[in-house]
Amino acid sequence: MSTHYLCPAADITVGNHRVFRIGRHSFGVFKVEGSYYALRNYCPHQGGPLCEDAGVFDRIDAEVADNHKVREFISVEKNLIACPWHGIEFDVRTGECLVRSDWKVKTYKVQPDSENNLQIELPD
């Protein structure tokens, strides 16, 4: 593992991610609820550039109330992206696919250092 500087943490805001390339690694960096997440830029469906031109969006959740009515509401977490090739959705915090539990995208540890610059740990 080796640690790499990315950018000032202020450059990554909620809903506005960036894609980085370091050596053989390509990944998107996202901010969700005050924390930073890095997701491999490779879709397990057909190898699309998962984090390129991908919109980060709110999740629409639903719950069934006691009276059997369905209530939908919008999450404000902005933790999902949709692959630009076929639209399959992934959680940027975990790499989990919303429609296929056997598809998971690699995630990397990313966090701000003492000077509030983002650092990422990548395999050598």
**Chain residues in the site for ligand FES (CB under 6 A):** 43, 45-46, 48, 83, 85-86, 88
Q: How far is the CB of 52 from ligand FES (least distance, A)?
A: 11
Q: Which is nearer to ligand FES, 44 or 118 (CB)?
A: 44
What number of residues does the chain have? 124
> Interior CA angle at 45 toward 24 and 15, to 5°?
70
Q: Which residue lies nearer to ligand FES by CB, 46 or 116?
A: 46
Number of helical H runs and strand E runs in the chain: 0, 12
| Closest approach of ligand FES to the CB of residue 115, in Å | 36
Could you give the CA distance from residue 17 to residue 29 in angstroms, rounded to a whole number? 6
CB of 46 to ligand FES, least distance (A): 4
φ and ψ at 26, to 5 degrees? -130, 130
Q: Which is nearer to ligand FES, 54 or 122 (CB)?
A: 54
β-pairing, 25-32 with 89-91?
unpaired
Select 41 or 79, whichever has its Cβ closest to ligand FES: 41
